[in-house]
Amino acid sequence: MEFTCALCNHEIASLGICARCHNRLHSQLEDLVEFWKSAHEELLPGRTGSGGRSSERTIGLNVNALSFIAGDDIIGMLHEWEKVIREDRQLVKPANMPKRALAEEITKSVAFAQQHLAWSATQPWIADFAGELRALHSQGMAAARKFVERPRKIACPAEIADGGTCGQFLNINHDDPLEIFHCRKCETQWTTLRLVAVALTDPNRKVWLDAEAIGKWMGISDRHVRRIALQNAIPKKGQLYDVKAFQAAHRNHA
């Protein structure tokens, strides 16, 4: 029997979602805790001035952070789905659970959603869950100022008959670097990772990828990617690393 991923429609071996979509949801849940913690820093007024001298603090606040750290949006979304999961799986009802501090409540709620993610992926409501999580994740990025400059288009580098390159702009998917897509002009097939490899040859272009994508591209584990990045202070934007800097550091470790 053939199955397709409930989120990306790729063919899979069993009912539910593919491994890449599962990993993305798992990571987005993990990010909620980091964003909530980072949002607290956005309530501290920043400093202005230059030359290394202390100066007056500004009074500007990140309003998104003020709302996000209250935790209502995070707890509200996660608790509603937790009720569904607990009821369907005949687990202890939330009303019978002991009250916890906000930080612990968010951490435990995220852990619960991750623990039951494989089962949730087989439910007819998984697309709704993924949509709400994506919206909450975006809200958290704004609150924690985890903005990432993501190029959405890269010119197709396929060689054509006259010796030049196709040049047709291709829409890429930063969240799924292994998704296969076609160039409508020259009819070649690409993945984001292959296009990134070409972009790396341009000395004037910055390329940013997360640990999973770098690991798949270089044939190493996510954990090894993070270890090298930490040891070499690789520049980072949110969850993405400077790929060129990582390449150089990895060569030194080899």
User: Are 87 and 116 in the same domain?
Assistant: yes
pLDDT tens column, 13-67: 888 899 888 988 998 998 898 888 887 765 554 433 333 333 333 334 455 667 7
User: Are 127 and 176 in the same domain?
Assistant: no
User: Are 10 and 126 in the same domain?
Assistant: yes
pLDDT tens column, 121-160: 999 999 999 999 999 998 888 777 754 444 456 778 787 7
> Which of 117, 144, 171 marks a domain boundary?
144
Q: Which residue has the higher pLDDT, 14 or 238?
A: 14
pLDDT tens column, 85-104: 999 998 887 655 667 788 89
Phi, psi angles (nearest 5°) of residue 192: -60, -35
| pTM (two decimals) | 0.54
User: Are 16 and 103 in the same domain?
Assistant: yes
> Which of 94, 109, 144 marks a domain boundary?
144
- Domain extent, residue 22, equals 3-144
The structural domain count of the chain equals 2
> Which of 95, 115, 144 marks a domain boundary?
144
Tokens (6 digits) for 249: 């550091």
Three-state SS at 235: coil
Mean pLDDT of the chain: 78
pLDDT tens column, 48-62: 333 333 333 333 445
Q: At what angle do helices 72-88 and 102-115 cross, to 10 degrees?
A: 40
User: Are 232 and 122 in the same domain?
Assistant: no
The secondary structure of the chain in percent helix, strand, coil, rounded to multiples of 5, reads 50, 10, 40
